[in-house]
Amino acid sequence: MSNVADQVGWLAAIEDAIDAVFEPVATWFAAIVFVPITIGEVSFPVVVAWLIAAAVIFTVYFGFIQFRGLKVSYEVIRGRYSSKDDPGEVPHFQALTSALSGTVGLGNIAGVGAAMALGGPGATFWMILAGLLGMCTKFAECTLGVKYREVHADGTVSGGPFKYLPVAFKKFGKWPAKILTGIFAVAILIFGVAGGNMFQANQTFAQAQEVTGGADGFLGSPGAALIFGIILAALVGAVILGGIKSIGATTSRLVPAMGIVYVLACLFVIIVNIGQVPAAFGSIIEGAFAPAGMAGGIVGVMIVGFQRAAFSNEAGLGSAAIAHSAVKTRRPVSEGFVAMFEPLVDTVIICTMTALTIVIAGAPSLQAGIDQVQAGGDTPDGVILTSDAFATVIDWFPIVLAVAVALFAFSTLITWSYYGLKAWEYLFGRGKTSEVLYKVIFLFFTVTGTVLTFGQVLSFADSALFVCAFVNLLGVYMLLPVIKREMKEYLADRKSGKLLDLGVEPEDREAAAK
């Protein structure tokens, strides 16, 4: 018993010491990255305005392509215009599920619950709108990710912002381009190791511990956390050691399965509470345009919805373009069409299903959470609001939520390992030894994440991720004409029937870049 107490004290001391060092750095960094804009009574981060403005501008510039191009997206995902001989590593569907596994995570559950408490039911409406606009941002950045990718001699691919940002920034000069792209790479690497890894591992263990009896259950000791972390790291390692092909093969099965299970669970709650559906939709619409009592009124609830969507689907951060760049295709914009499905699934479907489940179930904790926020208290735990909604149907239904959280976290882990690897390669070069070293470090932090929280480290990592938005979107703005040319040529070839002739090659990528 004494040994256990000593272990707990020793681990807590390490965590407290590291958090104490990081606290002033994390606070300072977050104050810069999330510097607020104030409109009336409402304050919101500049980065959110930057993300939403880009989504609106891109939507108008490309003629609302996310709505006009949905049929094209579906055809490409099904492989209608593809060949097994196309350069790349994974088919369109696997590239999509790999990217989705990095965005669909705890934010779709906990984050949405928190948004409901902050903005009321009306936040759902604005969340959906922001998701629809974000589809166009994904279209733009993922087209560029493939356009400027490098296919290596062994068939592997390096793409995404690490390749198109130097092209976008070359007019600034060689070193400014390298510095800006380097900042992006460092930010991705930091978040990949901490936020996309440690946090997900920590939450996976926390949920497993909760449904097995909490601190008094068999996962209640620090030793259990370490063993759990080693097993989780072994499972993650078994997937990531095979590279993007292994990740794609896993996520192509895992993402649809976990999405279907979670959406069905939400639908079950909604159907059981079917009598509350009309009133719930009424409260969503009313709350979006007449949010009585909400701080900042309509603007306030709009910002809450937009911010939740932006933080959930990562449209504009450039991360998804890394996974999409591995696709097997000869036409870069084809993957842009595929990428539009990401915010559609992540935000418009999964986040909305979570929100509807919470609102329609009408668990007392929702109104209690809203009252708590309005009274100036802390934002309640979003997972609790979602769990309580499930519990209105069956007492043990939160176990389904725990399984969903674990699957979401695992899929996020394996995809962010790939994003971090590509950032590592940009900073330190490619090579088998370098790659193995990175993966060992990544898996070490997976184990660490189940034992220690490192709250200030995670806060720092979250800020680092949103640094990517400023750098990435600036680069995308500078390459908009390239994307539009690719889009027009592709749609024209589709209309003429040329896309069905797999012998027709697009113009050489290097020539187009010049």
Could you give the CA distance from residue 3 to residue 451 in angstroms, rounded to a whole number? 16
Q: What is the pLDDT of residues 474-511, one digit of tens each?
A: 999 999 999 999 999 999 988 888 876 544 344 433 43
Amino acid (one-letter) located at 205: F
Q: What is the CA radius of gyration of the chain?
A: 23
Task: Answer yes or no: are the C-beta atoms of 45 and 34 closer than 8 Å.
Answer: yes
Q: Hey, how many other C-beta atoms are within 10 angstroms of the C-beta on 41?
A: 10
Residue 347 has, within 13 A of its CA and on its CB side, a CA count of: 31
383 token code pair: 């997972």
First-residue to last-residue Cα distance in the chain? 69
Among 252-261, 340-349, 429-438, whose mean pLDDT is lowest?
252-261
- The values of phi and psi at residue 43, to 5°, are -120, 140
CA 282 to chain centre: 29
Helix (H, G, I), strand (E, B) or coil at 336: helix
What is the b/e burial string over 55-89, where b = at least 16 CB atoms within 10 angstroms of the residue's CB? Answer: bebbbebbeebbeebeebbebbbeeebbeeebebb
Q: What is the pTM of this model?
A: 0.83
**Residue matched to tokens 């009585």:** 292
Entry field: residues in the chain: 514
Task: Answer yes or no: are the C-beta atoms of 84 and 357 closer than 8 Å.
Answer: no
Nearest 5°: the CA angle 232, 236, 240 is 170
User: Pick the residue with more confidence: 84 or 343?
Assistant: 343
Q: What is the pLDDT of residue 1?
A: 45
Beta-sheet pairing, 36-39 with 42-45: antiparallel
Confidence of residue 2 (pLDDT cuts 50, 70, 90): very low
Task: Answer yes or no: are the C-beta atoms of 225 and 453 closer than 8 Å.
Answer: no
67 token code pair: 């709505």
Work out the average pLDDT over 226-250.
80
Task: Answer yes or no: are the C-beta atoms of 414 and 251 closer than 8 Å.
Answer: yes
Task: Answer yes or no: are the C-beta atoms of 166 and 178 closer than 8 Å.
Answer: yes
Could you give the CA distance from residue 493 to residue 479 in angstroms, rounded to a whole number? 22
Query: Residue 298 pLDDT > 60, yes or no?
Result: yes
Confidence of residue 169 (pLDDT cuts 50, 70, 90): very high
Helices marked H in 194-296 — which ranges? 199-211, 222-240, 243-272, 277-289
256 token code pair: 């649809």
Q: What is the pLDDT of residue 183?
A: 93
Helix (H, G, I), strand (E, B) or coil at 115: helix
Task: Answer yes or no: are the C-beta atoms of 312 and 351 closer than 8 Å.
Answer: yes
Task: Answer yes or no: are the C-beta atoms of 336 and 482 closer than 8 Å.
Answer: no
Helix (H, G, I), strand (E, B) or coil at 44: strand
Helix (H, G, I), strand (E, B) or coil at 283: helix
Q: What is the pLDDT of residues 23-50, one digit of tens each?
A: 787 788 778 887 887 766 667 788 888 8
Work out the average pLDDT over 436-443.
91
User: Would the CA dihedral through 10, 456, 420, 306 be positive or negative?
Assistant: positive
User: Pick the residue with more confidence: 399 or 66?
Assistant: 66
Residue 206 has, within 13 A of its CA and on its CB side, a CA count of: 13
Could you give the CA distance from residue 116 to residue 114 in angstroms, rounded to a whole number? 5
CA 473 to chain centre: 16
Q: What is the pLDDT of residue 368?
A: 73
Could you give the CA distance from residue 385 to residue 346 in angstroms, rounded to a whole number? 19
Give strand pairing partners of 42.
39
Q: What is the pLDDT of residues 338-369, one digit of tens each?
A: 999 988 888 888 888 888 888 888 777 777 76
**Residue matched to tokens 């050489």:** 508
Task: Answer yes or no: are the C-beta atoms of 392 and 363 closer than 8 Å.
Answer: yes
Taking every pair of Cα atoms in the chain, the longest distance, rounded to a whole number of angstroms, is 77
Three-state secondary structure readout of 85-114 = CCCCCECHHHHHHHHHHHHCCHHHCHHHHH
Confidence of residue 379 (pLDDT cuts 50, 70, 90): low
Alpha carbon separation from 104 to 97, 256, 441 (Å, rounded): 10, 11, 24
Query: Residue 257 pLDDT > 50, yes or no?
Result: yes
8-state DSSP, 170: G
Q: What is the pLDDT of residues 139-166, one digit of tens each?
A: 999 999 999 998 887 777 888 899 999 9
Alpha carbon separation from 403 to 206, 344, 396, 439, 474 (Å, rounded): 12, 23, 12, 26, 39
Of 101-110, 168-177, 217-226, give the range with the top mean pLDDT. 168-177
**Segment (H or E) for 195:** none
Could you give the CA distance from residue 317 to residue 468 in angstroms, rounded to a whole number? 5
Work out the average pLDDT over 422-429.
90
